[in-house]
Amino acid sequence: MLAADGLVKRFHSRTGPITAVDHISIAVAAGEVLAFLGPNGAGKTTTIKMVAGLIRPDQGRVVVDGVDVTGRPALAASRLGAVLEGSRNLYWRLTCLENLIYWGTLRRLTPAVARQRAGELLRMVDLEDRQHNSVQTLSRGMQQKLALCQALMHRPQLVLLDEPTLGLDFASAEAIKATVRQLGTEGVAILLTTHQMDVAQQLADRLAIIRAGQLVLTGRTEEVLTRYSRPVWRVTAGEAFSAGQLAAARTLGWPLEQPTPKDLLVTPPEDDPAAIYRLLDVLRPAAIRLVERHQADLAEVFQQVVSGGGEAL
Ligand SMILES: Nc1ncnc2c1ncn2[C@@H]1O[C@H](COP(=O)(O)OP(=O)(O)OP(=O)(O)O)[C@@H](O)[C@H]1O
Ligand SMILES: [Mg+2]
């Protein structure tokens, strides 16, 4: 649905030219959520604006649903829906419903279809009871949800979301996440940026992490998490391990730490499927509460990747 190839964007700042986006290529298939992650200033918004046709790349091209839209903003706009950082194309004096209907008719829906679609979307994000309130009376989070509805009015097949859950309360963030999942099942391609790694981990089929304008890691979310998980086991007991139990565990000769009196972190040999049984055996009769293998979360992966060695999958 989206293929962006070799995008480059340079800006001229007071300290000289900077390359905000340095040969970035990303693709998003129909029904797929790609989380596009990176620290502040990495080039995410600049990339999204190029994809949306709002700024022109210095190099590279963007193809949406088979159509080359680079430098053709009107065509790009009709093919995609976008909620961009900070900017909302909402009319303050119009009501929620009026905004959506107006926008829908701009996108060539008939007023009746626009009205129906608007009602459906307002229900989806739980703004139905505000439909007749003007935008200026909405809270920031409500405006954010309305901006998402607006982006979805014409049923775009590609949706660009730049930090869609920023500053939203729990219920609103859940509503937006549910909407993103729903769009995925409808075959919509979604490009999402966020600094909330839990949101990215919950929603993304694939990840692309950028740093200083360059891709440093791409891959399927599960593969990346597995790859960054370490072969460390945590064994937690109901009470502190005794000196005898600790000594017995050490006789196995495996790397071992005791971060708290009740917790052991052990790294058994990976090629020994019975290792964990042997460990539990020597810890007998400790009241074991939990045995779990370390599973990396996206926050850990992100931190490792942006602070140093990322490698493309
Ligand atoms: N219009 C502009 N003129 C000059 N420099 C710009 C302009 N827009 C962006 N930049 C610079 O390009 C770089 C990338 O900015 P961008 O907004 O794409 O980052 P980002 O990844 O979206 O960051 P954040 O997480 O803070 O939103 C930054 O160094 C920024 O200062
Ligand atoms: Mg940004």
**Residue 48's domain is classified under what CATH number?**
3.40.50.300
- Which residue lies with its CA nearest to atom 24 of ligand 1? 40
Which ligand is closest to the CA of 210, given by its number?
1
pLDDT of residue 312: 45
- Which residue lies with its CA nearest to atom 9 of ligand 1? 46
SS3 call for 87: coil
Nearest atom, ligand 1, residue 85 CA: 27
- Domain residues for the domain of 234 are 230-293
- Which residue lies with its CA nearest to atom 7 of ligand 1? 11
Nearest atom, ligand 1, residue 42 CA: 21
Are both 39 and 186 inside the same structural domain? Answer: yes
Residues with CB under 6 A from ligand 1: 11, 13, 18, 20, 38, 40-46, 85
Q: Give 6-45 pLDDT, tens digit per residue.
A: 999 999 988 889 999 999 999 999 999 999 999 999 999 9
Cis, bond preceding 73 (omega within 30 deg of 0): no
Nearest atom, ligand 1, residue 9 CA: 12
Burial group, residue 253, by CB count within 10 angstroms (0-12, 13-18, 19+): exposed
Listed residues 226, 260, 283: the one ending a domain: 226
135: CA distance to ligand 1 center in Å?
A: 28
Rounded CA-CA distance 306/210 in Å is 8
Are both 214 and 239 inside the same structural domain? Answer: no
- Which residue lies with its CA nearest to atom 29 of ligand 1? 41
Are both 141 and 196 inside the same structural domain? Answer: yes
Are both 111 and 8 inside the same structural domain? Answer: yes
Per-residue pLDDT at 69 exceeds 80: yes
Flag the least confident range among 87-91, 146-150, 159-163, 189-193: 87-91
Could you give the number of structural domains in the chain?
Answer: 2
Query: Which is nearest to 4 in space by CA: 150, 160, 128, 177?
Result: 160
pLDDT of residue 194: 96
Check if the beta carbon of residue 189 is closer than 8 Å to that of residue 158: yes
Q: Does residue 177 lie within any of the structural domains? A: yes
pTM to 2 decimal places: 0.87
265: CA distance to ligand 2 center in Å?
A: 38
Are both 208 and 236 inside the same structural domain? Answer: no
Mutate to test the pocket of ligand 1, among 8, 21, 36, 45 (most ligand atoms within 8 A of CB): 45
Which ligand is closest to the CA of 15, given by its number?
1
Q: Does residue 213 lie within any of the structural domains? A: yes
Nearest atom, ligand 1, residue 47 CA: 18
Are both 221 and 242 inside the same structural domain? Answer: no
Q: Give 176-220 pLDDT, tens digit per residue.
A: 999 999 999 999 999 999 999 999 999 999 999 999 999 999 999
Check if the beta carbon of residue 48 is closer than 8 Å to that of residue 162: yes
Helical H segments across the chain, by residue range? 44-51, 73-79, 96-106, 111-124, 140-152, 170-185, 197-203, 221-228, 243-250, 275-283, 298-307
Rounded CA-CA distance 198/174 in Å is 12
48: CA distance to ligand 2 center in Å?
A: 9
Per-residue pLDDT at 313 exceeds 70: no
Q: Does residue 69 lie within any of the structural domains? A: yes
Q: Does residue 303 lie within any of the structural domains? A: no
40: CA distance to ligand 1 center in Å?
A: 8
CATH code of the domain covering residue 278: 3.30.70
Terminal-to-terminal C-alpha distance of the chain: 22
pLDDT of residue 309: 55
Q: Does residue 147 lie within any of the structural domains? A: yes
Are both 236 and 175 inside the same structural domain? Answer: no
Are both 166 and 122 inside the same structural domain? Answer: yes
Mutate to test the pocket of ligand 1, among 21, 46, 194, 216 (most ligand atoms within 8 A of CB): 46
Q: Does residue 307 lie within any of the structural domains? A: no
Provide the percentage of residues in the chain whose pLDDT is more than 90: 81
Q: Does residue 304 lie within any of the structural domains? A: no
Q: What is the average per-residue pLDDT within 116-137? A: 95
Are both 54 and 164 inside the same structural domain? Answer: yes
Q: Does residue 148 lie within any of the structural domains? A: yes
Which ligand is closest to the CA of 20, given by its number?
1
Are both 59 and 206 inside the same structural domain? Answer: yes
Mutate to test the pocket of ligand 1, among 44, 85, 192, 196 (most ligand atoms within 8 A of CB): 44
Q: Give 223-275 pLDDT, tens digit per residue.
A: 999 999 888 999 999 999 999 999 999 999 999 999 999 999 999 998 888 99
Provide the percentage of residues in the chain whose pLDDT is more than 70: 97
Are both 180 and 248 inside the same structural domain? Answer: no
Q: How confident is the model at residue 78 (pLDDT cuts 50, 70, 90)?
A: confident
- Which residue lies with its CA nearest to atom 11 of ligand 1? 20
pLDDT of residue 32: 98
Are both 222 and 235 inside the same structural domain? Answer: no
Between the CA atoms of 176, 180, 185 and 187, what dihedral angle is there, to the nearest 10 degrees? Answer: 140
Q: How confident is the model at residue 73 (pLDDT cuts 50, 70, 90)?
A: confident
